[in-house]
Structure 1
Amino acid sequence: MLRKAPFFSYVVRMVTFFGFLGLSLYMNARNIQIKDIPHIDKLSTNVINTIFQDSEGYIWYGTAEGLCRDDGYNIHTFRSDFKDPDMMPSNVITCLGEDSITHNIWIGTDKGLYILNKQTYTIASADIAELKDINIEGIIVTSDHSIWINVYRRTFRLSPEGEILKMYSLQCSTGPGEEYVLYEDRKHQLLLSISGKGLHKWNKQKDEFELFFPYTDRISDLIQDREKDYYWLASWQQGIIRLDPLNSVKELQYVPQPLPMNSAGQIAKTALHLVQDDVNNYIWTISWSDLFAYQVTTGGLLKQVDTSTFLPQYNKALKRIIKDRDGNLWVTSLDNHNFIIYFDEDNLHEYNIAPLEKQIKWTPIFENLCKDEKGIFWVFQRRLGLCIYQPEKDKIECYTSSKAVSDSPFLVLSYLLKSKKQGLVWVVPQSSCELYGLSQNNMEIEIERRVNLFSVSKTYDVINYLFEDNDGNLWIAAGNHLFIYQIESEKLELASDVSIWLIPCEVSVVIRQKNDDFFAVPA
């Protein structure tokens, strides 16, 4: 069954249409810009408790006056009022999540848990007796599709369908609010910080949380470093703490970092929430009074970065900081200073193509290209076919030269697309009903996948468009047919009862089902 998609997924690059809150500047050769949150004036209130980006790219705001969704053009508000008094007993949204099966939005309020159906956009109670009329403190969906709900001194593990699988009692010495943090690290370990007790790890086999590292501090947030295996903790009295539980030197396992100075010249002891950006690898944290940025030194210590050139120099009542899928940082507050930090990574780069000119004896003509995770460019060059180019070493390898082939399928290409799957690139030869999944190792191209549409359609349909969604599906438009290739299972299916149009606008593929429902694949 096809899932309805928006006419385009929300991208934060839309903020370039809105006014500056601050000035652009260069910081370690990276351009950091501060801009207003789009459509902020259309929210039901400027008091934003939480921001959430769903799998389609849409931004959701949990406010003190209801749930708001930005579709890129306008704000849609879901709240109880005189028109719909029974939607939810409270409009105070505390946290948000999205299940990974139905992609419904799970809504935490100060009076219970609710679910927004993404097909009908209606809101109903989660219908869980244990979670009625209580403050929901946190929602996290883990890689095994479980939904974890934090409330005062308890956490619940739910199935994607909303059935309670287990309730875990949590005890700590602090009062309600910010005492428990659930976090899933890169190795899919589920970690639970309990203030005053320490860091716990979920033992899946025993189905219980076991103490991993003890500490007595009150911890409000937890992230893993992007490059190292250690963690950063946000504490109420010691600022940021580096936690490296497996370090052989005991003194280096739990290291409080130097406390920062806010814009008013005061020492800030409290760190509330943490993110790490994808450009400078800075650790960003908010306190009761300011936003701070830290550079991670080679020794794994934090050094405060001067933000005075782009952040207002006065106390700020900040609430939350999150990072979206494009790497932008969203900062919410209690005093209307809501803004976005985004990074212009010196977008203009010049690459030396002299080695390629020397090799082919002509001026190169690049018709299609993409870039993989290792910084290698995959290039379709009309005279040589498919090549891979390593800018750092000015090294170029072509498929025809790296393989002993007399008739390469990659001499003329109609499509080249970087897959979301690590190391995989999709390639479509011109006028072909086949597509290939390729990888490279030490600049040598290998064929990992070969997908032939003729195997399921029995007609020769020339591939003219590819789109890979966030659920591991590759959508293939060919002729008047639409195919779905499940990347993990390597299963190819023909989507029946659909018609396809390719149109040159923000929506690249429009699909009509037999029941006349319309769907769109974004550009």
Structure 2
Amino acid sequence: MKKFTGTHLLCFILSLVTHINLCAQEFYFGHIGPQKGLTASSVQCILQDYQGFMWFGTTDGLFRYDGYGMTVYRHNSRDSTSIGSNYILTLFEDTDSTMWVGTSSGGLNRFDREKEQFIRYIHLPDDPNSLSSIFVSALTQARNGDFWAGTWKGLNKIELKEGTITRFVHDEQDPNSAPSKWIHAICEDSSGAIWLGTEGGLSHLDMQSGKFTHFVANPNIANSLSSNSVNAVIADRDGILWVGSSSGLDRFDREKQRFMHFNTDGGVLSLFQESSGALWVGTGNGLLHFDTKTYQSTKYIHNPQVSWSLNSNIVQSIYEDRTGVLWFGTRKGINRLDKQQRRFKHLGHNPDDATSLSNNGISAVHAGVSGTIWVSNWGDNGLQINKIDSKTKRIIRSLPGLQSNDLQRGGG
């Protein structure tokens, strides 16, 4: 028979006292790595296709996950129908359920599911109807059907039916021309305008005029963009534009043309709004769950002592599948978060911590009417009483004047 420790007993009893949050629940991050066939560690992008398969774009190939194992697609220099590069930058499935893969040095790849082959679209110096670069880093499809590809050398609009490509090129003499820097992110807002996150700031394309407006960081203007290195841009369901850069998170007020800055304790690498409306912010120093109404956030980081914590603090990609499960790509593989699965945070004795329980030998637990938790321990010094504040989780040991029968009469 399995023996219960004091901390197991405490958490079991308190789990029955539903109005008290002493054993604070934490998110349980499941990990997918080599044991499931994900042999590449750095996950750049994530997609669920119309068939339900999960796709992971990595720095060493494209992986398809069926819930049990992986199928990997890698570049083969002897096979022109293989994927153009092993370094995957972005994934997208269009309205016709065609999957597109943007790569580093291998151009844009269209996946033929029936033949399990890739058709490549690359840059050809003498062909203006080709992509502006073989480095394709961002993809999206507008509501009107326009398909956009951001590259390391500008923006491209692709007519999927005709197969034609229009390049938007930078003109040094025209301040309203396309940005010249590497495009990291593309999004469409509620008005149909296109926003670009680039290495030269944030750019806005007015679809009617065809003109670009550029927003850049200015150290002399407090409400300007916080950094010119913009890695992620999303328009939330309320029409608010959120910008993730190397300096943190910005909220853009389009009426006042001002940016509100939020410290994320690390540069922002990825942004995603989940179905509940909350914003997930992937940074180089952990993962933030951000409330867009209150501006409050909860941070999740890797803890080597906790097997279900985030497996890396570098969160490069975020995705929510059709069942509401969240997927996070990091430098060490995939984290899978089903928010219905939780873990209890255990409280126990730590000889080096005066704010921990006085002993793990728990003999009784009582919840007072004010929410205070009383815990009695039997140890080398006999009966000891611990008072735990249910809000702050602060533990005070061996309160004077309390006897063991106080736990039966009540208190708190």
| TM-score computed with the length of structure 1 as normaliser | 0.50
String of CA shifts for 1:331-371, please: whole Å, max 9, x gaps: 1111x25202222299xxxxxxxxxxxxxxxxxxxxxxxxx
Give unmatched runs, 5+ long, in structure 1. Answer: 1-23, 261-267, 347-523
Map of 1:363 onto structure 2: none
CA distance, structure 1, for counterparts of residue 119 and residue 143 of structure 2: 25
Question: Does residue 318 in structure 1 map to residue 315 in structure 2?
Answer: yes
Pair 81,191 (structure 1): closer, same or farther in 2 beyond 3 Å: closer
Sort the Cα spacing of 1:141 and 1:49 in 2 relative to 1 into closer, same or farther, 3 A: same
1:221 maps to 232
Of the structure 1 ranges 323-332 and 60-69, higher mean CA displacement relative to structure 2 is found in 323-332
Displacement of 1:124: 2.3
Q: Is the 8 A contact 2:33 2:333 kept in 1?
A: no
Q: Determine the structure 1 residue equivalent to 2:255.
A: 246
The corresponding residue for 1:290 is: 286
* CA apart distance, 1:148: 1.0
Question: Residue 298 of structure 2 corresponds to which residue in structure 1?
Answer: 305
Counterpart of 2:64 in structure 1 is: 69
Q: Which residue of 2 aligns with 1:190?
A: 194
Confirm or deny: 8 A CA contact 2:92 2:99 kept in the other structure: yes
Match of 2:169 in 1: 169
Equivalenced residues, count: 299
Paired AA for residue 253 in structure 2 = D
CA distance change for structure 1 residues 39 and 170 in 2, over 3 Å: closer, same or farther? farther
Note the 1:60-459 alignment, pairs <5 A.
60-81=55-76, 87-101=82-96, 103-111=97-105, 112-126=107-121, 129=124, 130-131=130-131, 134-161=134-161, 163-170=163-170, 177=182, 179-203=183-207, 205-206=208-209, 208-211=210-213, 215-216=224-225, 217-218=227-228, 219-226=230-237, 228-237=238-247, 239-247=248-256, 253-257=258-262, 259-260=263-264, 268-279=265-276, 281-298=277-294, 302-307=295-300, 312=309, 316-334=313-331, 336-344=332-340
CA contact (8 A) 1:35 1:339 kept: yes
CA distance in 2, matches of 1:46, 1:291: 18
Q: CA deviation at 1:146?
A: 2.1
Identity of aligned residues (%): 20
Letter in 2 for 1:329: L
Give the CA deviation at 1:62: 1.2
Between the aligned partners of 2:99 and 2:41, the Cα distance in structure 1 is 21
Partners in 2 of 1:170 and 1:328 — Cα distance? 40
- Contact kept, 8 Å, 1:138 with 1:150, in 2: the verdict is yes
SS of residue matched to 1:91: coil
Match for 1:328: what amino acid? V
2:46 maps to which residue?
A: 51
Give the TM-score normalised by structure 2.
0.62
| Structure 2 residue ranges without an equivalent (≥5) | 1-14, 125-129, 173-177, 217-223, 343-412
- Give the CA RMSD over aligned residues: 3.8
Q: Could you tell me whether the CA contact under 8 Å between 1:220 and 1:234 is conserved in 2?
A: yes
Taking the aligned partners of 1:303 and 1:140, their CA distance within structure 2 comes to 30
Counterpart position of 1:391: none
CA apart distance, 1:33 = 3.3
One-letter amino acid of the structure 1 residue matched with residue 250 of structure 2: I
- Residues 153 and 171 in structure 1, CA contact (< 8 A), matched pair in contact too: no
